Structure 1
Amino acid sequence: MKLRKVTAASAAVLALAVTATACGSDKKDDSGSGSSGGGKTITIGIKFDQPGIGQKTPQGYSGFDVDVATYVAKKLGYSADQIEWKESKSQDRETMLQRGDVDFIAASYSINPKREKLVDFAGPYLLAHQDVLVRSDDNSIKSAADLNKKKLCSVTGSTSAQNIKDKLAPDAQLQKYPTYSACLSGLQSGAIDAVTTDDSILAGYAAQAQFKGKFKLGGLKMSNENYGIGVKKGSDLKAKINKALEEMVADKSWQQAVEKNFGPAEYKSEPAPKIGDVKS
């Protein structure tokens, strides 16, 4: 009778252990080892509303940042169908990394000292510049000073247009629209003379089929924007991502991604930056 009780108890313990093991096997792997290490998914933050950079469409996700992030994830051991994409709005990025909502963020995320106090950055993987987008037949804007008296559009909450007015063209007439798409519609109709933000973002919008051939970049290079991949402070993913970015440049995948996403806008990108080389 006593033997039967011990056996039953042992069986119960064994069943609990098996159950716990089964439940534990579904946990997300945060080590960056991916499928080769048993992990199921990796969560990556991107923009959902920037054509050419990061965009969610009925067909899936597309853009330069998406291509870079997919390449990096593959090098970390994750296939494309193991990626969980999460929208990372500009104001939420640091918080998302600190809370662990995402493993890393590739979302036109410029490296600067203020952000570096809160998160770590791999990269940079793209050097962009603040620029303007104008109509393809407009040859009147060849320098920042030419924006004086011009109607200059940027989105509400952006500092791009205000920076130009404060430092470069004090007589520019600022026009704030809710989205860059609205700015481009105004540019197309003639209500706006120029749209300003990072040249990579402008190129992505201009490359859309409905705008093909209608706009061009001014090439003014009014700032340096070093795009990095954000990770949680102290994460060992930084070194792994840096290695993946170097391999992406070496095997020409980086250049292919540039041409694929920005080529239709005739975007003349800077050469791939060296890891750790942040241009001020």
Structure 2
Amino acid sequence: MKLRKVTAASAAVLALALSATACGSDDKDDAGSGSSGGGTIKVGIKYDQPGLGLKEPDGSFSGFDVDVATYVAKELGYDADKIEFVETKSADRENAIARGDVKFIAATYSINDERKEKVNFAGPYLLAHQDLLLKSDSDITEGTDLNGKKLCSVTGSTSAQNVTEEIAPKAQLKEYGGYSECIAALQSGAVDAVTTDDSILAGFAAQDKYKGQFKLAGLKLSNENYGIGVKKGDTATTDKINAALTKMVSDGSWQEAVDANFGPANYKNEPAPKIGNIVS
């Protein structure tokens, strides 16, 4: 009789221990436990922006944002083979972070007050400007030269609105579904200029098939402070990413990534911005 009581008690203790272990496993970081623990991390990027975030035909990824994200993930404890890149389109970035689909996002994500209400931002890690991409032999030297010319951007672009409302009201706006279509139209002569962030334009111009065909106007029509988006309130991860970005600049890796991804387009990048320094 006494033996049966001890066995029952032991079984109860064992059940409680197993239950506690199971509950504890649910509290693990959903991004994995880093290289030491063999976990993975999900990172949001663009899939369709050459020079910034591009999924190559062989399934690999390239671009400045990819290089930045890879460096940051390594500093967080994840080797390159432990990173899972997730496509995050502009309209879904805040939702992807809130849902926990990704640990952080590096995807030409401009820091602004509206977005800061929904996510934490690390950085900025690049200061870009709205600009124009032109054919290399174009005689356009300033925004007003676009009056009467054909300007291309994607449907709903704020860049196009800025140009047509503030600089060249007589420009003939042509809108397409993606920037690749605009670049093809510029190459064929169907349009005279393409407008969006200079970093995006430089990325397209740096592609092998376009080398030497295009140039940036260098107009700096706006300031775009690219930051890394993190879940709102996650100051620990934000601080770690800021430390990683600071190290990336100091050890020369940041400039190497700029040169590798934008160099062929003669992109005159701004110096690496200081963490927290938002240029308005």
The two structures have a TM-score, normalised by structure 1, of 0.92
Distance, in Å, in 2 between the alignment partners of 1:273 and 1:47 is 22
CA contact (8 A) 2:33 2:40 kept: no
Is 1:92 the counterpart of 2:101? The answer is no
Q: Which amino acid in structure 2 is aligned with residue 113 of structure 1? A: D
Long gaps (5+) in structure 1: none
Of 87-96 and 194-203, deviating more is 87-96
Give the aligned partner of residue 106 of structure 1: 106
Letter in 2 for 1:64: F
- The within-5 A match list for 1:237-252 is 237-252=237-252
Percent sequence identity is 70
CA distance in 1, matches of 2:31, 2:250: 25
Cα distance change, pair 28–206 in 1 and its aligned pair in 2 (3 A) = farther
CA distance in 1, matches of 2:260, 2:20: 47
- Does the C-alpha gap of structure 1 residues 233 and 44 become closer, same or farther in structure 2, counting only changes over 3 Å? same
Please state how far the C-alpha of 1:2 moved relative to its aligned partner: 5.3
Q: Does the aligned pair in 2 maintain the 1:32–1:77 contact within 8 Å?
A: no
Residue matched to 1:60: 60
Q: Which residue of 1 aligns with 2:176?
A: 177
Cα deviation, 1:70-108, whole Å, max 9, x if unaligned, reads: 101111111111112111111111111122221111100
* Equivalenced residues, count: 278
Contact kept? 2:31, 2:102, Cα under 8 Å? no
Q: CA deviation at 1:35?
A: 3.0
Q: Secondary structure at the match of 2:126?
A: strand
* Residue of structure 2 equivalent to 1:47: 46
Q: Which residue of 1 aligns with 2:225?
A: 226
- Does the 8 A contact of 2:32 with 2:39 survive in 1? no
Give 2:262's aligned amino acid: F
2-side partners of 1:48 and 1:16: how far apart? 47
Cα distance in 2 for residues equivalent to 1:26 and 1:94: 24
Residue 221 of structure 1 aligns with an amino acid whose one-letter code is K
Task: Measure how far apart 1:116 and its partner are.
Answer: 1.1
Contact 2:150–2:173 under 8 Å retained in 1: yes
CA distance in 1, matches of 2:158, 2:166: 12
Distance of aligned partners of 1:88 and 1:98 in 2 relative to their CA distance in 1, 3 Å threshold: same
Deviating more after overlay: 192-201 vs 54-63: 54-63
Q: Post-superposition shift, 1:176?
A: 0.3
Kept in 2, the 8 Å contact 1:153–1:176? The answer is: yes
Separation of aligned partners in 1, 2:208 and 2:12: 64
Residue aligning to 2:129: 129
Mapped contact 1:53–1:65 kept (Cα < 8 A): yes
After TM superposition, the structure 1 stretch with the greater mean CA deviation from structure 2, 13-22 or 69-78, is 13-22
- Following TM superposition, the consecutive aligned residue runs of length 4 or more in structure 1 with deviations greater than 3 angstroms are 8-28, 30-33
1:166 maps to 165
Q: CA deviation at 1:29?
A: 2.3
2:197 corresponds to = 198
- Is the 1:32–1:237 contact (alpha carbons within 8 Å) kept by the matching residues of 2? no
The residue type equivalent to 2:161 in the other structure is Q
Quote the residue 1:254 is aligned against.
254
User: What is the rounded CA distance, in whole Å, between the counterparts of 2:78 and 2:22 in structure 1?
Assistant: 21
CA offsets, 1:167-213, max 9 Å, x none?
11111110001111111111111101000000000011111111111
Secondary structure in 1 aligned to 2:132? strand
Q: Indicate conservation of the 8 Å contact 2:65/2:106, yes or no.
A: yes
